[in-house]
Amino acid sequence: MDVKIEESWQNVLQDEFEKPYFKNLVSFVKDEYTTQKVYPAGNQIFNAFAMCPFDEVKVVILGQDPYHGPNQANGLAFSVSDGVRTPPSLLNVFKEIKSDLGKDIPETGNLERWAKQGVLLLNATLTVRAGNAGSHQKKGWEEFTDAVAQKVNDLKEHVVFMLWGAYAQKKGAFIDQEKHLVLKAAHPSPFAADRGFFGSRHFSKANKYLEEHGKKPIDW
């Protein structure tokens, strides 16, 4: 099956695209974009892969659903487009970075600059109906993104996985902690951040690990 995705990911995931569940998923997603308002824009569904080729992945941050409000989702987990107000969870991420590394909170919530440094910002579900959180769950996306995480786990070494909240921790439970660094904390949402996300210092820990293994740290 011909899926328009960045070439290095195409090579790694080609077998996945031939599986029946993925063909069903493609059919569902095409129908949704034809009949409903769906986010992100169709050409941004695989944005996380386009901006962070497989060969360059150094950090994986797992999200759940794309944002379902106008102009928010841009294909990168936790990220919003330039000019869009920074959502509360992402603002808490920036607050933790300031506490951890002393970096000022940026004016934009667009995380493309992270992706281009090797941070795979991977949502479990890559599409969603406008105003209807979770509407594209259990249609095949989770199986696909599980396969993505599995490929990173199996084929790469010394990757940092940031698992925030119970959902991400369950999804990443299989990751080989002998080969990779797995960092777990509460979700950065306003409902949970005080229960262990703040003070987790994941960003300095990630950079220390990357440097220890001869990789350039991330400019968070």
Q: What is the count of structural domains for the chain?
A: 1
Whether residue 28 lies inside any domain: the answer is yes
pLDDT, position 148: 98
Active site residue 2: no
Whether residue 219 lies inside any domain: the answer is no
Whether residue 117 lies inside any domain: the answer is yes
In whole angstroms, what is the distance from residue 214 CA to residue 210 CA? Answer: 6
Whether residue 192 lies inside any domain: the answer is yes
Cα separations in angstroms, 95 against 49, 154, 186, 198: 26, 33, 15, 8
- The domain spanning residue 143 has which CATH number? 3.40.470.10
Whether residue 131 lies inside any domain: the answer is yes
Q: What is the mean pLDDT of residues 57-69?
A: 96
Whether residue 1 lies inside any domain: the answer is no
The answer, as to whether pTM is greater than 0.85, is: yes
Given the residues 31, 55, 65, 146, the one annotated as active site? 65
Cα 23 versus chain centre, distance: 22
Whether residue 220 lies inside any domain: the answer is no
Domain containing 35 equals 7-213
| Beta carbons of 215 and 159 less than 8 angstroms apart | no
Whether residue 218 lies inside any domain: the answer is no
Confidence of residue 2 (pLDDT cuts 50, 70, 90): confident
